[in-house]
Amino acid sequence: MDRVSVVTDIRQANQNAARENRTLFDKHGSCVINLMSAPGAGKTSVLEATIREIAPSYKVAVIEGDLETTFDSDRIRALGVEAHQITTGSVCHLDARMVAKALASFPTDGVDLLVIENVGNLVCPAEFNLGEDLRVMVYSVVEGAEKPKKYPLMFHTSDVVLLNKIDLLPYSGVALSELLRNVVEVNPRAAIFPISCRTGQGLEGWIAWLMNELKSRRSEALSISKT
């Protein structure tokens, strides 16, 4: 087996596992988010803020992916939400088989919203479908306005782009208008929300978007079960 075949083989194995995850999520009626970003952009902070608003109305569960430590799953459990930690060691992304393995010991039936927080990396996670419904990426605005063009794949494949840390804009020299233009250029179909997890600014737009998504899935499921 040469290198190209191995890469093709890994991709194919991932697609097969993603399809099986998808079947399981559909069976359980769970909406699944693959939450991605570079390290420190604010994935866990977004998740905490989201859980606080969503958990009273919907059952939420979280799978945390990290190279090392259980810091993030500890933060989620502190909110009273079940969290399963995947520690990847040196692997720079989650793949569908890691998620499948987690699902074997972390049952998600009855979960309305499952968030899979990926390893912090703006490159590799975007290449691996986990079987998710939605890709949500968090981008820290202080990382610069030109990054959507330099790291296009994650921006291009995300359904939602959360531009976090806008409270730092006045001190960062980054122009939000230029960043927005670049995001739209790379992905004109994404829903974009400038937010600050620190001040709470802009979070209501993202929460409303997600609530609406969950509501329409619930009523769709109800109408299917009635027919």
What gap in Å lies between CA 104 and CA 64, rounded to an integer? 15
Place of tokens 């995850």: 21
Contact 67, 87 (CB under 8 A): yes
Dihedral sign for Cα atoms in the order 39, 17, 154, 26: negative
Nearer to its own copies, 74 or 220 (CB): 74
Contact window for its own copies (CB under 8 A) among 3-11, 77-85, 103-111, 215-223? 3-11
Among 38, 51, 114, 163, binds its own copies (CB under 8 A): 38
Contact window for its own copies (CB under 8 A) among 15-23, 103-111, 113-121, 207-215? 113-121
Contact 126, 161 (CB under 8 A): no
Q: Is 177 in the site for its own copies (CB under 8 A)?
A: no
Helix boundaries (H) for 62-143:
71-77, 96-105
Among 79, 100, 134, 142, binds its own copies (CB under 8 A): 142
Say how many residues touch its own copies, by CB under 8 A. Answer: 41
Helix (H, G, I), strand (E, B) or coil at 37: strand
Among 22, 172, 176, 191, binds its own copies (CB under 8 A): 172
What gap in Å lies between CA 157 and CA 42, rounded to an integer? 19
Nearer to its own copies, 26 or 74 (CB): 74
User: What's the Cα-to-Cα distance from 177 to each of 141, 166, 182, 221, rounded to whole Å?
Assistant: 11, 12, 9, 39
Contact window for its own copies (CB under 8 A) among 38-46, 52-60, 130-138, 219-227? 38-46
Place of tokens 């998600």: 108
Nearer to its own copies, 4 or 224 (CB): 4
Residue 169: CB minimum distance to its own copies, A? 10
Among 102, 122, 130, 137, binds its own copies (CB under 8 A): 122
Among 18, 66, 97, 155, binds its own copies (CB under 8 A): 66
User: What's the Cα-to-Cα distance from 1 to each of 5, 6, 7, 8, 9, rounded to whole Å?
Assistant: 6, 7, 10, 11, 10
Q: Which residues bind its own copies (CB under 8 A)?
A: 1-3, 6, 10, 38-41, 66-69, 71, 90, 92, 119-124, 127, 140, 142-144, 146-147, 149-153, 165, 167-168, 171-173, 198
